[in-house]
Structure 1
Amino acid sequence: MATAPTASNLPLFYKDLVPLSSVDHADFHARPLDSADFLINQHAVPLTSDEFVSASRHYPIVFSAGDNPVPLALMGLNEGINTFVSEEGKLINPVYVPAYIRRYPFMLARLRPDTDELSLCFDPTSGAIGKFDEGDVLFVDGKPSDAVNNILEFCKNFEEAGQRTGQFVEELQKADLLMDGEVSIQADGYEQPFVYRGFKMVDETKLRELRGDVLRKMMQNGILALIFAHLFSLQLMREIFAEQVKAGKMPAVTVAPTTA
């Protein structure tokens, strides 16, 4: 259920990236998007560990398959199905929106491989930034506007949250707590259950068998609370499945495609 990068190695949602420039974009404005078309066919969105508690009320939280697991908020159980977005790209119900979505079309990116310096970039194909008459001014007298500074601060916070998320996953792997996940859902009218694989989850048996000192450390540094948020959220997979049934978006196969 993990989301693979595009052929051009751009992050999920992004079709192109250009650095924001006070010269090239001096008269550009940023405006809110009327719809999130980029979400319509996305069933999984990256999530930071900072968001686990808020997101766990609305989405099942799983980890991507592969050697470098990434937390994901599931918006659908099958690729191409998003139960939270209409065919017009509108959120069906007001829910918590992951920061990865709210960040789009901006992001901090490394422009040169020989430096760790990050620059504020944006996706010029998004339709949110351009030579519009309306929207927020991006530059004032050649300097970033308050709107750009706020965006930059949000992106910096997101990057920091991403680093904390990486450390969280490393701790899970160090304790050997992640296992290949599997969820079986028996739907009315079907003889065979729908079996979903292709993701990782915390192994509750190994969690119960952890040494007391390890558990104490996890409780003190907040990791245990994140684990429980993840585990409690998994019950929402059946609710997501029910929403797919209600919307007539039943999967065509009984085993979810595995995407590394």
Structure 2
Amino acid sequence: MATAPQAANLPLLYKDLVPLNSNEHATWKSRMLENAKFMDGQHAIPLTIEEFVPASRNFPIIFSASDTPVPLVLMGMNEGVNTFMNDEGQFDRPVYVPAYIRRYPFMLAKLRPDTDELSLCFDPTSGAVGDYEEGTPLFDGTDPSENTKAILKFCEDFENAGAQTHAFVEELQKLDLLMDGEVSIQQDGLEKPYIYRGFKMVDESKLRELRGDAVRKLNQNGILALIHAHLFSLQLMREVFAVQVAQGKVPQVTELPTG
């Protein structure tokens, strides 16, 4: 059997990864989780570009402050705080749920460094996959069940969307449209504002300065609409902050990076 990826390289939310195979998991089933406790304390979740518009209605969309920025939805103003979930691991109000979350506990992963082949894996600690009496079978004999085929299709679509998202960010970088972000939020009764840094955002000044042909290209390939969804969503940062204040979870400091 192929060796599972090392724990040190596991992506966000995943505590372990095991390749799904008919030899070991022929009788296993998947089942719906009663809650999303695996989201505890997660303040920022990766987002693909096809999700920008629906996600922008509920969350601020920012970019990670890294050499290869990643679009993220912001669920809290600092690490360890998720203002959208209650103590029972449920979303406490109707919101768009990013595909990154809906994909869990499954994902496609490269099991060997000498190949680009991806295999369907799952997090065995999730409680959503196991040798249960109740649930939806993962295999029909030695063949993947319709359930597993649907899971695989979702994961493949997610990978394709991820590649498109990477190309989108590369285009923003090529046009030098990403800048270090900063948002100042004034709290009632306090002299100093809360300054939120440690993320990247589109520079509206540089966007306005683009030549007509560059703007037309961005409009034709759909990137301009994505940029506008991102910029529009940033208004929601103050709402997230207000909820976090109401929950009593905002430290009394003036700068908090996203990490």
- Cross-structure match for 2:75: 75
TM-score normalized with structure 2 length: 0.96
Distance 1:7 1:76 in 2: 26
Q: Is the 8 A contact 1:28 1:137 kept in 2?
A: yes
- Cross-structure match for 1:204: 204
The reply to whether residue 164 of structure 1 matches residue 148 of structure 2 is no
Q: Which runs of 4+ in 1 moved over 6 A?
A: none
Distance 1:187 1:41 in 2: 23
What one-letter code is carried by the residue in structure 2 that aligns with 1:8? A
What one-letter code is carried by the residue in structure 2 that aligns with 1:223? I
Distance 1:176 1:90 in 2: 39
Q: How does 1:107-126 map onto structure 2 within 5 Å?
A: 107-126=107-126
- Cross-structure match for 1:183: 183
The reply to whether residue 151 of structure 1 matches residue 155 of structure 2 is no
Q: Is the 8 A contact 2:79 2:258 kept in 1?
A: no
Report the Cα offset of residue 252 of structure 1.
Answer: 3.8
Distance 1:142 1:191 in 2: 66
Distance 1:193 1:20 in 2: 50
Q: Is the 8 A contact 1:40 1:86 kept in 2?
A: no
The reply to whether residue 65 of structure 1 matches residue 57 of structure 2 is no
What one-letter code is carried by the residue in structure 1 that aligns with 2:56? S
Of residues 213-222 and 242-251 in structure 1, the stretch that sits farther from structure 2 once superposed is 242-251
SS at match of 1:8: helix
Distance 1:251 1:104 in 2: 31
Q: Is the 8 A contact 1:43 1:78 kept in 2?
A: yes
Instruction: List per-residue Cα deviations over 1:147-172 (Å, max 9, x = no partner).
Output: 10000000000000000000000000
Identical-residue share of aligned pairs (%): 68
Of residues 101-110 and 241-250 in structure 1, the stretch that sits farther from structure 2 once superposed is 241-250
- Cross-structure match for 2:51: 51
SS at match of 1:63: strand
The reply to whether residue 98 of structure 1 matches residue 103 of structure 2 is no
Distance 2:171 2:252 in 1: 37
Distance 2:257 2:48 in 1: 24
SS at match of 2:24: coil
The reply to whether residue 28 of structure 1 matches residue 28 of structure 2 is yes
What one-letter code is carried by the residue in structure 1 that aligns with 2:198? G
Of residues 36-45 and 198-207 in structure 1, the stretch that sits farther from structure 2 once superposed is 36-45
Distance 2:178 2:247 in 1: 32
Q: Is the 8 A contact 2:199 2:257 kept in 1?
A: no
- Cross-structure match for 2:250: 250
What one-letter code is carried by the residue in structure 1 that aligns with 2:157? N
Distance 2:88 2:252 in 1: 23
Distance 2:190 2:99 in 1: 37
Gaps of at least 5 residues in structure 2 are 1-5
Report the Cα offset of residue 239 of structure 1.
Answer: 0.5
Instruction: List per-residue Cα deviations over 1:49-108 (Å, max 9, x = no partner).
Output: 110001000000000001100000001111111011111211111210000000000000
SS at match of 2:195: strand
- Cross-structure match for 2:3: none
Report the Cα offset of residue 229 of structure 1.
Answer: 0.2
- Cross-structure match for 1:3: none
Report the Cα offset of residue 7 of structure 1.
Answer: 7.0
Q: Is the 8 A contact 2:219 2:225 kept in 1?
A: yes
TM-score normalized with structure 1 length: 0.96
- Cross-structure match for 2:141: 141
SS at match of 2:120: strand
Q: CA RMSD in A?
A: 1.1
Q: How many residues align?
A: 254
